[in-house]
Structures are given as C-alpha cells and as structure tokens.
Homo-oligomer: A and B are copies of this chain.
C-alpha cells in the first residue's frame, strides 16, 4: 500500500513535472498572435511556433520513437522541419529560412504538442523522469528563454514598437533595479580551486559542466553587483564607443560595421535614453543592470573602468565562496573565458552528444542567469555561451580585477 501510493505519488510528480515545463512554453506563447509566432527577424532568431515545435520534436525523436513501440509519428516531414542542428538525425531545414514556413500553422503545432504530450505522459508515468526526459525538459527551458529573446528581437524590428505583454515599468522580463548604489569588491585568495559539476551528486547538469576539476587561480577581486545602466551612460559619455584603445581589434571592427553606440535596444534623442523592453518602450533606468551588450562591449567597458572580466573559474569560485551576490540572475554575466571542454570532457554517445560539445569554438562563456531564464533552470556551474558579437541575449557583466 505504502509502496504503491509512494509510486503513485512519484508517478504523479513525474507527470506533473513534465507538464509543468511543457505548459510554461504555452503560457509564454499565449500572448502572441499567429502572425507574431511566424516571423524570423534574423538568422539567429527562430519563430515562436518553431520553438514550440522543435522542443516537441526533441521528445518525439529521442524519447517516443525509440522507446514506444506503437507510437505514431505525428507528421513525416516534421523531423526535417524541426530538427535544429543534430546532424546524426538526418537532413534539416536551413536555420535562416525558418521564417519562410507559414505552415504548419499554430493550430497544427498545438495539435502536435498535444499529440506528443499525450504519449509522453504515458511514457513518463511508466518510466519517470529519466535522464533523457530531464534533458528534454532542460532543453525546453532553454528554448523558453530563447523564445523571449527572439520575440523581443522580432517586435523591436517593428516601427510600432509593440509590447509582448505587461507594463514597461514593472515587467518580469526586464532586469530589476539594484538597491546598492556603489559596487563593492570581494576578494578571493586564489590557489587551487575545484570547479564544475560533481556528477556524483546526482542532480541534473549539462555535460559541458563536467568533470569537476582543479584550476589554479591567482588572487582576485570581484564586484558584488553587475554594471548598471547609469555606469554604462558614463562610459558612453566618456567616448567609450569612440576610443579605439579600449577595444579588442575585432570588437572595434564590429562596432564600426554595425554602427554601435549604445547597448542593443537603446535609443536616444537629445540625451533622452530609451530602451525597448518586452513590455514596450520606456526610459532607461540608471539603477538597473545594463543588458544586451556584446562581449566586445563588456570587455571594452571593463578596460575603461580599470578592471577586467572575470574568468569563468573565478566567477564560479567567487560564487561558491559566497561572493558576487547582488543582482545575480538578472542578466547573464560575460566572462573572459572562451567556451572549451573541461579536462576529461566526454560528450554523450549518439545524437544527444551533439548537444554542447560541437559549439566549443569562437564562443564566450556567460554565467548566472537572467530575468528571462525559467525559475530553477540554472546553477552555479551552469555555462551559457554566445559569440563575442551577440547582443540579443540578456547579457550584462560583472567586473573583476587582480588582487
């Protein structure tokens, strides 16, 4: 009896966990019209309805088709349309052309999700939240953040500057104001520290967070809060975007090629700085963490400020030691570390092994999390990554310096 009811409880919890993540995607998409969900505003961006389908395809491809004998594939072409980059799974539709697909429409995609959820509920009820199910859920959470990043970019390209939802002054999808007026520095003694996920612990982590391993650090200091919009304005006013000596050479070229003069989504008219948010356009608030800056800009700002970006090992060691406390989780924080495998890294066998390892070149690691990251998705060892020129992520920075 007890055993059974525990099992029933566990089953219910597993299914609930599955549905909770899945439903969250639908709640995020709900404010968006069929038209909104169709547009792709640049190759890096995917349409909302593509995210809804692709996350579903993951479960269909990696869980249902291999494991459920009588599973009926929803549509034979969806494997081609909604594969993102898994080469081992076969040919796929070009990323830059996702916005050309008017069909399947949002109703068919809702039906696709329902079809897969139905089968997945049965599977999860039987096998629980296996590591691969968990990977699917974590994958979907990543796309929940991407969905918001992407629709923000889409809406920003519309001269009407339409809002995704809500009140621009109190949006949950915008970094919150910080309460500390001046940054303080927390010291760290350096030496050999352990970083990375301890696989023994049993909790979920992506493969790129392992193995846990020692790293030698020099003594350093790290700021207790991220850089704010007010500080960024000071950088702008001090000629930050016009002084070559502050910039990496490729950053300087990128700045000129794109005409950068402020963070992405900022605009100005006679010193009146505005920012486009998911709740519409409003004034830049000085006490909020700056957001939507590239690695190049973060690096230039740090140089201007007489500081530097932390390495990812410094960042992790500082957080593990209780530092870097304020404002964490508001914006992803650029580190100076190129995204690379940890010593002894092994990708998983098969297609899911393509999840992380194949992107380990020409990307830089960000740590922490952001205001559009789903609750509970990140941890101290979590490694996010983007190219140095990317600005559509909710990316900011925290300063560090040699002790």
Contacts from A to B (Cβ < 8 Å): 33-39, 41, 49, 77, 80-81, 85, 87-88, 93, 97, 99-106, 154-155, 157-160, 162, 192, 213-218, 244-245, 247-252, 295-296, 299, 336-338, 340-341, 343-344, 354, 358-362, 388, 402
A361 and B100: CB pair below 8 A? no
Partner of A338, one of B49, B104, B338: B338
Q: What separation, in Å, do the CA atoms of A248 and B363 have in the docked complex?
A: 12
A-B contact pairs, 8 of them (CB 8 A): A34-B38, A34-B105, A88-B244, A100-B158, A101-B158, A102-B154, A218-B344, A250-B359
B160 and A103: CB pair below 8 A? yes
A99 and B39: CB pair below 8 A? yes
In addition to A218-B343, A344-B402, 15 A-B residue pairs with Cβ atoms within 8 Å of each other are: A33-B103, A34-B34, A34-B38, A38-B38, A39-B100, A41-B100, A77-B160, A87-B244, A87-B245, A100-B158, A103-B162, A192-B216, A215-B216, A248-B359, A248-B361
Q: What separation, in Å, do the CA atoms of A359 and B49 have in the docked complex?
A: 39
What is the distance, in angstroms, from A75's C-beta to the closest C-beta of chain B? Answer: 9
What are the residues of chain B within 8 A of A337 when measuring CB–CB? 340
What is the distance, in angstroms, from A97's C-beta to the closest C-beta of chain B? Answer: 7
Chain A: interface secondary structure? mixed
Q: What separation, in Å, do the CA atoms of A251 and B247 have in the docked complex?
A: 27
Q: Select from chain B the residue with minimum beta-carbon distance to A346.
A: B402
Q: Select from chain B the residue with minimum beta-carbon distance to A41.
A: B100
What are the residues of chain B within 8 A of A340 when measuring CB–CB? 336-338
Q: What separation, in Å, do the CA atoms of A104 and B33 have in the docked complex?
A: 10
Partner of A218, one of B33, B213, B358: B213
Q: What separation, in Å, do the CA atoms of A244 and B214 have in the docked complex?
A: 32
Q: What separation, in Å, do the CA atoms of A402 and B245 have in the docked complex?
A: 40
What are the residues of chain B within 8 A of A88 when measuring CB–CB? 244-245
What is the distance, in angstroms, from A148's C-beta to the closest C-beta of chain B? Answer: 15
What is the distance, in angstroms, from A33's C-beta to the closest C-beta of chain B? Answer: 5
A87 and B359: CB pair below 8 A? no
Residue from A106, A159, A295 having most chain B Cβ neighbours under 10 A? A159
